[in-house]
Amino acid sequence: MNVADLKVFEAVSRHGSMNRAASELHTVQSNVTARIRSLEEELGVSLFQRHARGVTTTAAGRRVLPFVARIARLLAEAQAAAQDDGPPNGALVLGGLETTTALRLSPLLSAFATAYPQVRLSVSTGTTARLVNDVVQCRLDGAFVAGPISHPDLHQEVVFREELVLVTAPTVGNPRDLAGVADLKTIVFQLGCSYRQRLETVLAGLGIVVAKPLEFGSLDAIIACVAAGVGVTLLPRGVVATAAEAGKVALHALAPEQGQVETLFIRRHDSYVSSAMAAFLEIARSGAARD
């Protein structure tokens, strides 16, 4: 068993296709097929079930998959540790909630990029559930997520504290008036967003049950829909302050147990903390301390 074969296995499992995996790996399908057969013979199990539409990972293959990410991460960390001399350098792959990225990370990322130009920094956005999974599966070095979370593989620290507010159209003077709105809709991020779960709790406290939310992947789209009177949402006050000042939306404060949320930075507790990661966390902590 070698790392190259495991990478081929992971690509095939992710795509569900030998041909698409070959395209990603810049090789031919016959080479991918040969590597998979060799790996299956070595392990003594079938990793894929073949069918007309491609392949499906077997139960044995699903048990192997987590080790592929861990092995790849250990090799990358070993190389990074060997080269981690002098000023911070190398790659740093982070994730964040869209609200956190918009409200908090822009100045931090700018300051970090200016201070450490040798670091190849990349940031992607997603829901808390997705970001947690990406860190656990070693697709991200770390991520900013909404607390609380509990996972045995993760180290976490509180970086920011936010005040969540109920956001409505400017015509709504009191949140209790929402109970009289026919077919009230919630405007939320995709499934896995922790703010979405809190919004359902807030509305339930007002005696409102929303059958099906409207999902958007963009913060701007959510605010625009709320401003147009399509529905309501729950967001950090800082994210919607400008829209509220312009009279586009109304903000309604919540009880502390509903409105206070911690933004955590998470990473695998067994991961190597590179000089780039340490430098980024120092800047993030300094920025949080000034708030």
Residue pLDDT, tens place only, 155-212: 999 999 999 999 999 999 999 989 888 788 999 987 777 888 889 899 999 888 876 7
Contact 186, 222 (CB under 8 A): no
Structural domain contains residue 73: no
At residue 86, the pLDDT reads 80
Which pLDDT value is given to residue 290?
Answer: 64
Burial class (CB in 10 A: 0-12, 13-18, 19+), 97: buried
Residue 1 reports pLDDT greater than 90:
no
Specify if 19 maps to a domain: yes
**pLDDT at 73 (0 to 100):** 78
Q: Are residues 49 and 12 in the same domain?
A: yes
Q: Tell me: pLDDT of 91 over 80.
A: yes
Q: What is the pLDDT of residues 101-143, one digit of tens each?
A: 988 888 899 999 999 999 999 999 999 999 999 999 888 999 9
What per-residue confidence (pLDDT) applies to 117?
A: 95
- Give yes or no for residue 243 having a pLDDT over 70: yes
One domain, residues 104 and 155 = yes
Q: Is 262 exposed, middle or buried (0-12, 13-18, 19+ CB in 10 A)?
A: middle
Which of 65, 93, 108 lies at the terminal end of a domain, its last residue? Answer: 65
Would you say residue 254 lies in a domain? yes
- In terms of Cα–Cα distance, which of 143, 154, 4 is closest to 72? 4
Tell me the pTM.
0.73
Q: Note whether 210 and 244 are same-domain residues.
A: yes
User: Cα–Cα distance between 165 and 234 in angstroms, integer?
Assistant: 6
Q: Say how far residue 226 (Cα) sits from the centre of its chain.
A: 24
Compare 193 and 15 and report the one with higher pLDDT: 15
Quote the percentage of the chain above a pLDDT of 90: 65
Q: What is the pLDDT of residue 211?
A: 66
The residue segments making up the domain with residue 87 are 82-160+261-290
Looking at the fold, whether 18 and 141 belong to one and the same domain comes out as no
Sign, CA torsion 101/105/110/112: negative
Q: For residue 46, what is the domain's CATH number?
A: 1.10.10.10
pLDDT at 289 over 70: no
Same-domain check for residues 178 and 224: yes
- The residues, ordered by sequence, that sit 6+ positions from 18 with a Cβ below 8 Å of its Cβ are 12, 29, 32, 33, 36, 54, 55
Rg (CA), the chain: 23
Q: At residue 79, does pLDDT exceed 90? A: no
Q: Is the pLDDT assigned to residue 291 strictly greater than 70? A: no
Mean pLDDT of the chain: 90
- List the single range of 11-15, 63-67, 154-158, 241-245 with lowest mean pLDDT: 63-67
**Beta carbons of 233 and 222 less than 8 angstroms apart:** yes
Cβ-contact 195, 59 below 8 angstroms: no
Q: How far apart are CA 74 and CA 17, in angstroms?
A: 27
Q: What is the pLDDT of residue 140?
A: 93
Tallying the residues shown for the chain, one arrives at 291
Question: pLDDT per residue over 39-68, tens digit each?
Answer: 999 999 999 999 988 999 999 999 998 888
pLDDT at 75: 82
Same domain, 280 and 147: yes
Residue 239's pLDDT is what?
92
Q: What is the DSSP letter of 186?
A: B
Among 135-149, 203-217, 259-273, name the one with the lowest average pLDDT: 203-217
